[in-house]
Amino acid sequence: MREARAVKPGEDTARGALDRQSGMPNPRFRSLAAGLLLALCAAQPGALAQTLSFPALPGLPKPAAAPASAAASAATGAAADDALRARLKQDLDDTRGLSAALSGGTGGNVVPPGITDEEVALAGRRLVGWIFALEGQLRSLDGLVRAQADKDDAVAANAAWTGFPDKPPYSILRAEDLAQQVDALKARVEAANVSRNVGGRELEVMQQDMKRSAEAQRRAEETARARPDDPAAAWRARAAGWSASAVAASTAAILRDKELSDAKAEVDTERLRLLERQLKTVNENLSFTEADLQQVRRNEQAREARLDKAAAAAQTLADQRSREAATAERALQALRTAVPAPTPARLDAAEAQMRALNAAVDTARRQSESLAAQSPQSNPKADAWE
């Protein structure tokens, strides 16, 4: 057995990284996120404040003087994003190093006597989850940059459009094509609105996860302080810190992903404005033959067939996910009342599976509802133009 180095309670648990996870979530989620963290601070004002190292509520902007101009504001925001991206990349490198060291049993991560293989495996999974969450935040940050560029392009295109290059009248086929694009964008914007409601439920789950992880870290650190010569207690305190960091990073990743979804919806809304202007112009100057009208009917029928097939598949998937979630819920309830009690790692895995299945159910239902909303039966173009 290699000599195990005693680790001070909370050492290298990346408390600083926890406060770096916050970033700037979408304003729509700030009140929920603030309430979540206020509740945590009220529950554990001492231990939690030390754990999170937050000088202010995470995810909320620090008080600052208003920038002198829009250009200054943009520059400040870009600099803040660059700084956040750099910190996340550093956190990612550090966490990957922790994970590799734990797997290899090197440095300060030599597992001391008294730590079970199951505890080591659970700590490893927490570190992997932390890594995934940091990677997700970085992907969302990159996506936000692209979304802002797309929005700027859409705004510029709308402002620059003064009419079609060809003179009216316009074909009904052009109107039908524009109408389909409008319907598709409206469906995507509506799906984004539904996603926000799901996001509120996810935040409620986050609240419970953060409470549990903060409480577990507090207990582990108290035990380690009471047993300063016990390497196993110090290791468990350290692993509890990794778990708390992973939960905080996952929370930030979900908030950042919601922010990206909102940004994409804003791009769709800007594109929708231009399409609606173009469709209005075409509708006011229509010209069509009976052959054009029949082609529109054929297009509608083909589109309806595609949507019906996709909607049926989406509903089948939603039903399957619902059955899987119900089965997992029964298994979880049985596990919680089992005698002897299950290990924390097994219970944790079952709860994680339950959360993943609930998210899958919500996603499948949103897809099914979105496809149903796009049905041409609700707005038959050919009948409207006859």
Q: Between these two residues, 157 and 204, which has the higher pLDDT value?
A: 157
Buried b (16+ CB within 10 A) or exposed e, 59-72: bbeeeeeeeeeeee
Q: Highest mean pLDDT range out of 3-17, 106-120, 241-255?
A: 241-255
pLDDT in tens, 147-194: 999 999 999 999 999 999 999 999 888 888 898 899 888 888 877 776
pLDDT in tens, 353-384: 787 777 778 777 777 776 666 655 544 555 55
Q: What's the pLDDT score for residue 187?
A: 81
d(CA 382, CA 299): 10
Summarize the confidence of residues 32-44 as an average pLDDT: 38
Phi/psi at 285 (nearest 5 deg)?
-135, 50
Is residue 246 within 8 Å of 348, Cβ to Cβ? no
Q: Highest mean pLDDT range out of 36-45, 73-82, 137-146, 369-378?
A: 137-146
Neighbours of 1 (CB within 10 A): 7
Q: What's the pLDDT score for residue 236?
A: 93
Cα angle value 225/229/233 (rounded, 5°): 60
Q: What's the pLDDT score for residue 166?
A: 92
Domain ranges of the chain: 14-57+83-287, 300-386
The angle, 0 to 180 degrees and rounded to 10, between the axes of the packed helices 27-43 and 231-283 is 160
Q: Between these two residues, 65 and 231, which has the higher pLDDT value?
A: 231
Q: Residue 355 to residues 40, 121, 321: CA-CA distances in angstroms? A: 21, 20, 12
Strand-pair category, 286-287 with 170-171:
parallel
pLDDT in tens, 253-308: 888 988 998 999 999 999 999 999 999 999 999 887 778 778 878 878 887 887 78
d(CA 258, CA 192): 9
Is residue 282 within 8 Å of 178, Cβ to Cβ? yes
Q: What's the pLDDT score for residue 381?
A: 55
Claim: this prediction has a pTM higher than 0.85: no
Which single residue is written with the structure tokens 């870290």?
A: 217
Is residue 300 within 8 Å of 376, Cβ to Cβ? yes
Q: With a cut of 90, say whether residue 110 has pLDDT above it.
A: no
Summarize the confidence of residues 135-140 as an average pLDDT: 94
d(CA 318, CA 325): 10
d(CA 145, CA 157): 19
Q: What's the pLDDT score for residue 154?
A: 96
Phi/psi at 355 (nearest 5 deg)?
-65, -40
pLDDT band at residue 345 under the 50/70/90 scheme: low
**Average pLDDT over all residues of the chain:** 76
Neighbours of 323 (CB within 10 A): 12
Which single residue is written with the structure tokens 């304003």?
A: 27
Q: Between these two residues, 166 and 50, which has the higher pLDDT value?
A: 166
Is residue 237 within 8 Å of 221, Cβ to Cβ? yes
Q: Between these two residues, 124 and 357, which has the higher pLDDT value?
A: 124
